[in-house]
Amino acid sequence: MNDRMHIPFGKPWITDEDRQAVWNVLTGDILAHGPQCKNFETAFASFMGGDNHAATVSSGMAALHLSWLLLGVGPQDEVIVPAQTHIATVHAVELTGAKPVFVDCEAATGNLSAAQIEKAITPRTKGIALVHFLGIPCEMDAIVALAEKHQLKIVEDCALGVGARWDGKHVGLFGDCGCFSFYPAKHITTAEGGMWVTRDADLAEKAKKFKAFGVDRNFLERTIPGMYDVPTLGLNYRMSDLNAVLGVQQMKKLPEILRKRAENFRILKEELSRAGEKVTLLDSTTSRAANSHYCLSAILRGDLAAHRNDIISKLNSAGIGTSVYYPQPTVRMTYYRNKYGYDASQYPHAEAISDHSIALPVGPHIAPDQAACIGKKFVEIINQGSHEHGN
């Protein structure tokens, strides 16, 4: 306990077997849109369960952008977006020319609620960009009912939601499409990469063409090599087979990754409960929502709130890696503030998360006794009080 710890916030879990699998692809004939992308899609779709179609893409942001383009959102439209999320959720809307309409999150989960979304709906609203914040599922029955009532599209940002379920159904299968990220810091990684999912077979066909220049047949489907036509617009958002084979490998570890994250989260949460009212945690508020435990975001309350950065420094000095999700409400970021203006009073919960929270690690690189040490150190530091006297 007295020894300095060396615990990074995140650490991809890559084994020799994973490295060998990438090497095998690299020494073969097919490096892109080959069999490994198909294998990864099949494994991912089957993990999610239910009737769904999955398409590998080059990143989580690519999946989000592809979604809004396919759903036909454009310059005359408004899309409701969270004030608290990764900026990619909002950029994907903004890039289509549609207007993002920022909505504050709930204090307990960091998620949008159906009630808050409803207040922001106007005759021009075309969709909802939903984020399962840090892997905590949104209240999907209320939100889906609202979207049906107003005929709105839903794009689910599940970048931190691999393994998150609402009423047992995997996130990403409630809306029109679901978007996952495999950036190194996420639950599983392909270095860069993402997965786009939908329950709509026609939309899946369109997505598979749109992500590959809008070309009408892939190279396996061409009778004369090099010959194809282009019936629609498109872009290149494909994943390479080098990335995909890493994804295939990572899927084998996913159940264990989720178990370890859940266990570390539970241990940390228990330790932090000793901090009493000085700290609140973001977590599911109903047993219907199964958290995928990306991290444990602790929000400092009262006098402590102003000392967030001091406390982070002390944790880091003790060898505990931390992060902040996310460093500013999306609408407070310079680009959006300049374009749409910013009224802090409209986003108190998003502000509290950005300015007063500390994200603690729960990844599979952390053993259960280390999780307990992180929790004890955290409580020790906030109880020291020296930061309150400016030392």
Q: Give the shortest CB-125-to-ligand PLP separation in angstroms.
A: 21
| Pick from 62, 21, 24, 92: nearest CA to 192 | 62
- Please give the Cα distance from 25 to 18 (Å, whole number): 11
| Pick from 318, 292, 241: nearest CA to 35 | 241
Q: Tell me whether strands 153-157 and 125-131 are parallel, antiparallel or unpaired.
A: parallel
| Cβ nearer to ligand PLP, comparing 25 with 57 | 57
- Please give the Cα distance from 159 to 193 (Å, whole number): 11
Q: Give the shortest CB-66-to-ligand PLP separation in angstroms.
A: 12
Q: Give the shortest CB-159-to-ligand PLP separation in angstroms.
A: 3
| Cβ nearer to ligand PLP, comparing 66 with 366 | 66
Which residues lie below 8 Å from residue 69, measured CB to CB, with a gap of 6+?
A: 96, 210
- How far CA 282 is from CA of 11, 37, 115, 350, in Å, comes to 22, 35, 19, 12
| Cβ nearer to ligand PLP, comparing 10 with 321 | 10
Q: Give the shortest CB-86-to-ligand PLP separation in angstroms.
A: 3
Residue nearest to ligand PLP (CB): 60
Q: Give the shortest CB-59-to-ligand PLP separation in angstroms.
A: 4
| Cβ nearer to ligand PLP, comparing 85 with 264 | 85
| Cβ nearer to ligand PLP, comparing 242 with 267 | 242
Angle at 87 between CA 83 and CA 88, to 5 degrees: 125
Binding-site ranges for ligand PLP (CB under 6 A): 59-61, 85-86, 88-89, 131, 157, 159-160, 181, 183, 194
| Cβ nearer to ligand PLP, comparing 89 with 284 | 89
Q: Give the shortest CB-307-to-ligand PLP separation in angstroms.
A: 26
Q: DSSP letter string over 27-61? A: TSS--BSSHHHHHHHHHHHHHH-SS-EEEEES-HH
Q: Give the shortest CB-341-to-ligand PLP separation in angstroms.
A: 24
Helix (H) or strand (E) holding 170: strand 169-170
| Cβ nearer to ligand PLP, comparing 166 with 375 | 166
How many C-beta atoms lie closer than 10 Å to residue 272's C-beta?
A: 22
**Cis peptide leading into residue 326 (ω within 30°):** yes
